[in-house]
A and B are shown apart, each in its own frame.
Chain A
Amino acid sequence: MTQLQFGYYPGCALHGSSCDYEQSLRAVLDVLGVKLEELNDWICCGASAAHALNHKLGVALPARNLAIAERDGVTELFAPCPMCSMELLKARDAIMSDETLRDEMSQTVELPLTGNVAIRNLIEVFMQIGQKALSAKITKPQTTLKPVCYYGCLLTRPSKVVKFDDPEHPTTMEEFCRLCGAEPLDWNARTMCCGAGLTMADADTVKTLSGRIISEAVRVGANCVIVACPMCHMNLDLNAAPSLLVLYLSDLIGLAMGLTASQLGINRHFSKVEAK
């Protein structure tokens, strides 16, 4: 089997407030023999700010990162933050459907630009590794965990851009839970809003919105929420109920592969139930 390799775009979160996410996915992918090549000199993806201010800035920022990936011969770029992967995909679609814009962007970012880079989110990376390779590494099935999978907004939206799972009723993460021996529970909050970036501006709203998700998880009897987004993780982790762990999908897979909570950075979460 050839070794899987991805270009790696951490974005701001994974080098900052969500460094636990990076620790987790690096630990897991290391065991699985997946190589990550971090983009040299990557810049901000624009996040929610750039496209709201100026359309071209919103394209140029992610386009610069695409161009760096192309320059370095990266064909598949792993962006673990759904906001980053969505922005990269949106910029890629924009430049691929408009030649004039592509040439303009190429000048702006001072690099040649074709858009020929595939963008992968965390779940897609695991899908590419495949169930077979994953189950071969599973040594500690997490049968005591009763997870609910939380997808939030940007993993599946806008559906025309990200083209990943059903925007109203996504189910891809559940497959991986079963693979890890944890039977996922059905619940109603899989795509409800967590409050996203309002954490800074309007903490009360975030508390209400995230609280809705947490109480739904408690209602159905879950003991952990599985997420694949640093923003979702932060909001839910900060507001979690005492009976609830908020884990990245990579945390769950890591635990099932026998990695420890401290190897995965779970000890750095706010939500804590007695050590697993």
Chain B
Amino acid sequence: MSRIGVFVCWCGENIARTVDVDCVVQEVGKIAGVKCAVNYKYMCSDPGQTLIKTKIKEEKLDAIVVAACSPHMHQNTFRAAAAAAGLNPYLVKIANIREHCSWVHPNREEATTKAISIISLAVERVRHRRALNPIKVPILKRALVIGGGVAGIQAALDIADAGHEVVLVERNPSIGGKMAGLSETFPTLDCSQCILTPRMVEVAQHGRIKLHTWSEIIGVEGYVGNFTVKIRKKARYVDITKCTGCGECWTHCPSKRTPSEFDYGLGMRTAIYVPFPQAVPARPVIDPEACIRLKRGKGCGLCAQNCGTKAINYEDKEEIVTEQVGAIVVSTGFELFDISLRAQDNSCLSGYPEYGYGELPDVIDGLKFERLASASGPTGGEIVRPSDKKVPKDVVFVQCVGSRDPAHGMPYCSKICCMYTAKHSMLLKHKIHDAQAHVFYIDVRAAGKGYEEFYRRAVEQDGTNYYRGRVSRIVREGEKLVVSGVDTVTSEQITINADMVVLATAIRPSKGAQEVGQMLNIGVDGNGFFNESHPKLRPVETNTKGIFVCGACQAPKDIPETVAQASAAASKVLIMFAQGELTRDPEVASINERLCAACFTCVRACPYHAIEEAEIRGRDGKLIKRTARVNPGLCMGCGTCVAICPSKCAEIDGFSDEEIYSMLEVLK
């Protein structure tokens, strides 16, 4: 390219304050091949873009360099502007003189020199570029949703209602997630199951939703628009096509002493069970660890004898099914931080043995309290102490257990605990009129529509006592739990003789989320939550195209926010599906097949499995040679093959040796 234009942005004062943009323009204008060099206050603005377009046409530019902010910010903006002026968008190169220069250097003179260097390198690079055309990839308009909590349900229904098929995978026997176990929801106190179960039934009855419960994802291959997903359907021992959900099996099951997962161990379930009455599908599974027949291989068989439709199959085996989809929504949800573990899964976490959780039966977490207060719970909605089933009078709620505590737990705020603790204190008062709720808090964070009003109701109408401070220890003395803490407002030590303690333990990503993330090649943050592509502008996209996240697997959030994000993820899937085919960045690797020695080192090195072994045959079908070949639909342009190829025949467009070496020449 010999007619290069350079456009230097001031970025308001961001660049111009530190970099002498006039001097830069003057200097880079002297570089051979640079036809014009101009600066402007906001290059990304409409007049700025017009300037670029006009110059491209007037000066007949055949490549341009825009010296501005990071390419993550506006590369696409400037590529579009160039394309509008008839220039191939891949002949636009961004020189980042903001993040890499003006923001990090205080000295104006030195920063100016560095900016000139950065731009000179970009000029060299663009000089050796060739025009590229975007890769078009066809899309399979069928989506996978991983996790059937309220987020997954919402996303699946939205996509299916828009007319596309959805595969919904849930690892538990029923969809519904954590929300199905909640009692009443803040800030309206409407019953959680009453609003969720109709949605669950909609999923079950939807003609375009294929539901795999009691199933897990075990492998994902392919790329945006063309994913192949392997799903392990665990042995259910019940043929759900024959079963009517009548309940004869579980009423006759003699093995009744397994702690119910759905009730967090507060109630017991049988070996053949549905987790809760409104389960979807309302079909049981057999727990092989608890079933007498499956453990011994003979005997019992009462469920099969009492089944009118012969749906029980003790010989059932797990099954691997494969599904083809074009987009994936990840909604794997959360779990509570188990502070009872002395050996935590992370060396930074020491837990809170001083609270006696796991040792003292009447010290419970928020989700267990939800089950105690829920009409479908093990006590039928009566709030009683787990230890002796007595009705508690004084209940202490401790907020921020493991949240906002980098020393022992998580550094982040779990966001929902302030609100659900206020709700718990109200439910307590509504169900036990002479009870008293005591809440220990650090701050009350009630940001949300109607939230502050709700919290004030707890204080003013239901008389909840709030103490700003932490609890130092919880011990049992006789029938009472002695809670020692401090009120930092009055600077007094507080001791409460409580009947029950509810800990608002931190929210963490659910177990196995990280493995799902690895299969999907999407990243997690330091706390294990899935990373969104941009915290503000791309909140449901991930850095892997075609994969979206929503709900508490991305960060702690409440139901309204989860549902909103799930709909957002669904709409992103639908936007993709509406396009018909996808455009991918063509800056991908290619193999010079004439030079390739067919050692296939690159095939083994490629982290995306984008390179395959291929054969070149003559017209007569005779094998001429073997070669490695890149699938441009899969290649992410990471460059591993380029670095590893012993015969130097792999190359990435936009990162050719010619470009890189000519840049190095300038630096000499």
Contact = CB atoms under 8 A, between A and B. Distances in A.
B385 interface: no
A137 interface: no
A219 B477 contact: yes
Interface string A201-231: 0000000000000000001000000000000
Interface residues of B, number: 10
B476 interface: yes
B475 A169 contact: no
A188 B475 contact: yes
A168 B354 contact: yes
A38 interface: no
Contact of A188 (B342, B350, B353, B476): B476
B42 interface: no
A188 B475 CA distance: 6
Interface in B335-382: 342, 350, 352-354
Interface in A154-170: 159, 166, 168-169
A58 to B, nearest CB: 23
A168 B477 CA distance: 18
Interface string B206-250: 000000000000000000000000000000000000000000000
Contacts of B475: 188
A71 B473 CA distance: 45
A166 B340 CA distance: 13
B353 A166 contact: yes
Contacts of B342: 166, 169
Nearest to B354: A168
Contacts of A188: 473, 475-477, 482
Interface string A250-262: 0000000000000
B405 to A, nearest CB: 13
A169 B353 contact: yes
Nearest to A160: B407
Interface string B463-478: 0000000000101110
Contacts of B477: 188, 219
B268 to A, nearest CB: 26
B352 to A, nearest CB: 7
Nearest to A167: B350
Contacts of B350: 159, 166
Could you say which of A159, A166, A219 has the most chain B C-beta atoms within 10 Å of its C-beta? A166
A159 B352 CA distance: 14
Interface residues of A, number: 6
A251 to B, nearest CB: 27
A168 B352 contact: yes
A168 B353 contact: yes
A82 to B, nearest CB: 19
Contacts of A166: 342, 350, 353
B132 to A, nearest CB: 54
Nearest to B475: A188
B485 to A, nearest CB: 15
Nearest to A189: B475
B3 to A, nearest CB: 60
Interface string B590-602: 0000000000000
A159 B350 CA distance: 11
**Residue from A159, A188, A219 with most neighbouring chain B CB atoms (10 Å):** A188
A261 B71 CA distance: 80
Contacts of A169: 342, 353-354
Contacts of A159: 350
B345 to A, nearest CB: 16
B501 to A, nearest CB: 14
B503 to A, nearest CB: 15
Contacts of B482: 188
Contacts of B353: 166, 168-169
Interface in A89-142: none
Contacts of A168: 352-354, 473
Interface in B310-344: 342
Interface string A151-193: 0000000010000001011000000000000000000100000
A212 to B, nearest CB: 11
A197 B280 CA distance: 64
Interface in A44-89: none
B621 to A, nearest CB: 71
A168 B408 CA distance: 11
Contacts of B352: 168
Interface in B473-504: 473, 475-477, 482
A185 to B, nearest CB: 13
A159 B354 CA distance: 15
A188 B350 CA distance: 19
B473 to A, nearest CB: 8
Contacts of B473: 168, 188
Nearest to A219: B477
A219 B476 CA distance: 12
A149 B335 CA distance: 35
Nearest to A169: B353
A188 B353 CA distance: 12
A188 B476 CA distance: 7
B484 to A, nearest CB: 10
Nearest to A220: B477
A159 B407 CA distance: 11
Nearest to A166: B353
Nearest to B478: A219
B282 to A, nearest CB: 44
A44 to B, nearest CB: 32
A106 B560 CA distance: 63
Nearest to A170: B353
B355 to A, nearest CB: 9
A142 to B, nearest CB: 26
B137 to A, nearest CB: 53
Nearest to B474: A188
A168 B340 CA distance: 12
Nearest to B476: A188
A168 B484 CA distance: 14
B368 to A, nearest CB: 21
B480 to A, nearest CB: 12
A35 B476 CA distance: 43
A211 to B, nearest CB: 15
A166 B356 CA distance: 13
Contacts of B476: 188
A52 to B, nearest CB: 23
Interface of B: 342, 350, 352-354, 473, 475-477, 482
13 contacts: A166-B342, A166-B350, A166-B353, A168-B352, A168-B353, A168-B473, A169-B342, A169-B353, A169-B354, A188-B473, A188-B475, A188-B476, A188-B477
5 closest A-B pairs by CB: A169-B353, A188-B475, A168-B354, A168-B353, A166-B353
Given A166-B342, A169-B342, A188-B473, 12 more contacts: A159-B350, A166-B350, A166-B353, A168-B352, A168-B353, A168-B354, A169-B353, A169-B354, A188-B475, A188-B477, A188-B482, A219-B477
